[in-house]
Structure 1
Amino acid sequence: MTTRDKLLGLTVAVLWGLNFLAIRAGLNHFPPFFFAALRFLVIAVPVVLFVPQPKVPLKWLLLYGFGFGFLQFAFLFSAMHIGMPTGLASLVLQSSAPFTVILGALLLREHVGRRQWIGIGVAIGGMVLIGWDRAVDPTGILPTRSGASLLPVVLTLLAGLGWAFGNLGSRLAQAQRPMQLMLWMTVVPPLPMLAVSAVVEGPGTGWAALGTSFSGSGWPALAGLAFIVGPATLVGTGIWTYLMGRYSAGTVAPFSLLVPVVGIGASWLVLHENPSVVSLIGAAVVIGGCAWGFRKAAGPAVATIGTPPLVRPLA
């Protein structure tokens, strides 16, 4: 990989890591389901008008859009809305990598080597450590946090599982133009997400928040939305697609492991989030397990891991 392309990979990691700050800014103003619908709707409208529909089976486009777009962001935004720390969310969402490999092995009969299984086991151990830290006190004896402290972690894991199902849909679609497929994926989530928003949050709640977002106090949410749509999704995914077209998945995918490093660091600097030592150890275990387990892997099972974290992320 050339120096320029390495810098491009680092740029994507920075954009996707900072994307979690943009999500937090949006969720400080918008209800979560409506905000998830809005971030896709802004892209979907011009896509339907100006981008040709990809020549792929509709069922795989729907699986991609429902898993990656609807399930991932419904769970992720809900988790962050009820208390999932921003930096920790960027890390736990990386559970999509082992989930993708496991689903590929179970549903598509893809081969998974021993090294990958060990890496998956180590990464899962790190996730368990983070969940344990969120559920109990530092001594590990008395529950000092409410059950809701563990719930955001579980919801974020479900978001990673949804992303993994989306990865399978993306892989099975076998699009000749991956960027075109990604853009059309954004057409799937808005309507079901708006329906859920109307039922759960109220039919007028999100639209009222959109109206007040143009006031002085609402500009951070609009800035967050603009960052998610522009730099994080269109620019970041465009660069990622370019890199995936030039290099193997095993060469490009490790850059995505830098996303939680940026996310946790940016959340510490900007939001003053201070993750516990146990959570940081868990984060290192997760990243280390993924990096070691997938470093020399190749083939279809790993190719899905390189799919952008948020067609982001997202994250």
Structure 2
Amino acid sequence: MKLLGLVCLAMAAFAANSVLNRAALTGGGVDPVAFGVLRLASGAAVLAPLALLRGGVPLLGRGRLTGALALSIYVFGFSLAYLGLDAGLGALILFGCVQITMFGGALVQRESVPPLRWIGAGIAFAGLLWLLWPGGAEAAPRVAPLSGAMMAAAGIAWGIYSLSGRGAGDPLAGTAANFVWAALAALGAAALLLLWPSLLPGTQILRIDAQGALLAIMSGAVTSGLGYALWYAVLPRLAASSAGAAQLSVPILAMAGGAAFLGEPVTAEFAIAALIVLGGVGLSLLRR
């Protein structure tokens, strides 16, 4: 029962990232770039000491460049996408693209893929395709195209991040190192833009108020930093299929959080797409 409670807490933290990001952007006092920079910096500030207590932060470990780059694309794609997506919808696109990317990675690495996993991945991909496709020749897209593309890019990047870190001996230490490098790069880029705003003329970025800063720090330090630490602590005690199935709850929790705290509507189209995508992913996780 204690393990179940810890798993539920970790999944709630992952879903809260979507709600916090969306809440910060709808408030109007923060832009997505500033949110992403502060999220990475606060996440690194929490994860690095935790990793140091456990033995160190491998800043020059194998695959560090890939991990830091994929993490940066995920964080900023995630933030930019929520300019035009509800919390639950964004989490569904992210989650579906992560799973499909990892399925593709298994094919590239010539892993044995059972027929049931092919069927499940195909159903999940069809659900995402239907959700992102315009409703008709003259109908508006079900999802804002740019926002959907940004979240899909974030999902692909997180899938690549997960694939690159599968062989890491200590996932928490590797994640801490990736957060440190990504945060340093983001802070360096932000400093350049503050010193020479002419690098991006006509744009308003790095704008943040107290409420936006608090939400970004909560997302980075608590729901990302501590959430990842908790997840990596319970992950060795879970079967692979159980770990994958647990993550099916994240889009649903994000949808519930968006409805409860942000007043976001739950449409019939989203509910149908969620059933198709999550059902397909769940099918692919079955042993037989």
If the TM-score is normalised by the length of the shorter chain, which range does it land in?
0.7 to 0.9
**In structure 2, what is the equivalent of residue 18 of structure 1?**
16
* Counterpart contact for 1:64–1:168, Cα < 8 Å: no
Whether 1:158 aligns to 2:153 is: yes
Q: How far apart are residue 266 of structure 1 and its match? A: 1.1
After superposition, the CA RMSD in angstroms is 2.6
SS at match of 2:264: coil
Q: How far apart are residue 38 of structure 1 and its match? A: 1.6
1:226-305 to structure 2, matched below 5 A, reads 226-296=217-287
1:212-223 to structure 2, matched below 5 A, reads 213=209, 218-219=210-211, 221-223=212-214
Closer, same or farther: CA 184–280 of 1 in aligned 2, 3 Å:
same
Q: How far apart are residue 111 of structure 1 and its match? A: 2.2
Q: How far apart are residue 26 of structure 1 and its match? A: 3.0
Q: How far apart are residue 56 of structure 1 and its match? A: 6.9
SS at match of 2:30: coil
**In structure 1, what is the equivalent of residue 164 of structure 2?**
169
**In structure 2, what is the equivalent of residue 131 of structure 1?**
132
Closer, same or farther: CA 233–149 of 1 in aligned 2, 3 Å:
closer
Closer, same or farther: CA 84–234 of 1 in aligned 2, 3 Å:
same
Closer, same or farther: CA 264–45 of 1 in aligned 2, 3 Å:
closer
Q: How far apart are residue 188 of structure 1 and its match? A: 2.3
Q: How far apart are residue 102 of structure 1 and its match? A: 0.7
CA distance in 2, matches of 1:249, 1:73: 25
Q: How far apart are residue 192 of structure 1 and its match? A: 3.9
* Counterpart contact for 1:33–1:194, Cα < 8 Å: no
**In structure 1, what is the equivalent of residue 177 of structure 2?**
184
Flag structure 2 segments of 5+ consecutive residues without an equivalent.
194-198
SS at match of 1:162: helix
- The alignment of Structure 1 onto Structure 2 pairs a total of residues equal to 274
Q: How far apart are residue 240 of structure 1 and its match? A: 1.1
**In structure 1, what is the equivalent of residue 37 of structure 2?**
37
Closer, same or farther: CA 247–201 of 1 in aligned 2, 3 Å:
farther
SS at match of 2:166: helix
**In structure 1, what is the equivalent of residue 121 of structure 2?**
120
1:125-164 CA-to-partner distances (Å, cap 9, x unmatched) read 11012112xx33xxx3522359x82221122111111111
**In structure 2, what is the equivalent of residue 53 of structure 1?**
57
CA distance in 2, matches of 1:239, 1:114: 33
- The share of aligned pairs that are identical, in percent, is 20
Q: How far apart are residue 8 of structure 1 and its match? A: 1.3
Closer, same or farther: CA 184–101 of 1 in aligned 2, 3 Å:
same
Counterpart residue identity of residue 57, structure 1 = G
